[in-house]
Structure 1
């Protein structure tokens, strides 16, 4: 191996690691607030990527209709849950959140498909469509069992993952899709050629780290999420709405997953089930970070990306095995060092 190949592999690893870091952030965020291991994070990648690709090709993405359907189901669930405490304010809020918001996204997507829309508009519409899907899933599948054990929540996540994967096949088909690059800008640094798409990955990952730091450290909602993560009972006692915290966490995770999908779909063909494997690698980074630390998750994600890049060069047939084997020593070390703690009871 010469220096050029070494640098190319390192560049590829850092780029992949930046994507895995974004996914790891979403997983850490959701688990810290709701105790849910968000296996469907991979489906948010798929939905974001295929929604953006469909809009870029002038087609109406099926996720726009899916968001409307899930919003209607979430509206029915919400109306049933408040039947004994019904107020006009709750009705208006539920109608706006679960009915009007996805309907507006659907209408805007239809208008965008009739003409030639810019990449910026397509990205905004993709986030507008996919982001609320996370919120609706929380209301339908997770909020009713929010006080269940972590095992029950994990089983629910597996069910949601399988359902969303089937819906992705229904709406987008088995054929893969690819989108045009966000920008054609490119620069050469020695033997390396850095494309605008790669730069976008780095910039978005770094910006998101800063945005999460500002959100959790300097906003009321961010501090409320941190309080919910530390102690759910204590958060409720001081007036923090843990349900709202869960909704915000899921919508942010869905948005992060959609952004990840939008960033990678110009670089590789995405199929209806591609997100699951990518999401698992983000899960490894989140596990190394203890499902709690964002900086450690980012560092672990870059390490996972670099290991994957070099494994594909030296032993491509065992690339996935080597990458997923990284989690074994981490879990072993944590199981030996972590004290035995009882699960918090709500």
Structure 2
């Protein structure tokens, strides 16, 4: 039967990658604020992507293995809820491990569109998936998914759009930013689409903190690699030995806050401008929100979305939420 179906090949890459000066603008703006901050999206150069994959294999980092097990356990119910012939759109393609689980479990998806800011990660993921799923059209988009992204049109009509946003990546954004991302997602879905979102759930703070402070120091290296990237791409002079990784759970906000902390009073130069750091001054580089059931439902509602289905792992550590437009 498969021989009668035209074998799609990967269409041309849609390149909407932000201009290089966007990084400089964000860094200058962030270093000028109090407290200083740099957006977490800049973690993911080639080395940063490699280090993040290494983080997911650390024993303390429960998120990936629990989400993968949850996907396996609930895949039949997810396939029933999504239906046949979906165009799958993934925000941030990563390594593609969870993507394979989803595409393998869905019923005859017609196309897959990864939206990824890292060209190397995008190419690697798409190339690997093409050989595994030759009858799914690959329509990669190199772009920042936090901005408006037009959806490529598949050659075979899709019955429904499914946005896939795993890994609790939504938790890396503030409440307002998350609402904006979900609102943009709502526009992509149309009237009958669905979104499958992975969310890390509120639990013992010690368990959460350990996930972001692994004993092997991989997360610390990942965080400091941000400074390596800025030195390489912007000609900055951050001294890596002058900063340390710090991640702590803030119970009142329900989130991990990750910082690079200056170990001494020092001055850093960026594009001819000098920025002073005091000893023990913390520069924020990431949020990781942990959600309650009601808190996430309220967040989705603010973007015009409702929870259609919800699945948690047996320990209630991690959840999958299927959203529909209201």
Could you tell me the TM-score, scaled by structure 1's length? 0.27
Give the strand-richer structure, 1 or 2.
2
Larger relative helix fraction: 1
For normalisation by structure 2, the TM-score amounts to 0.28
Higher relative contact order (CA 8 A, sep 6+): 1
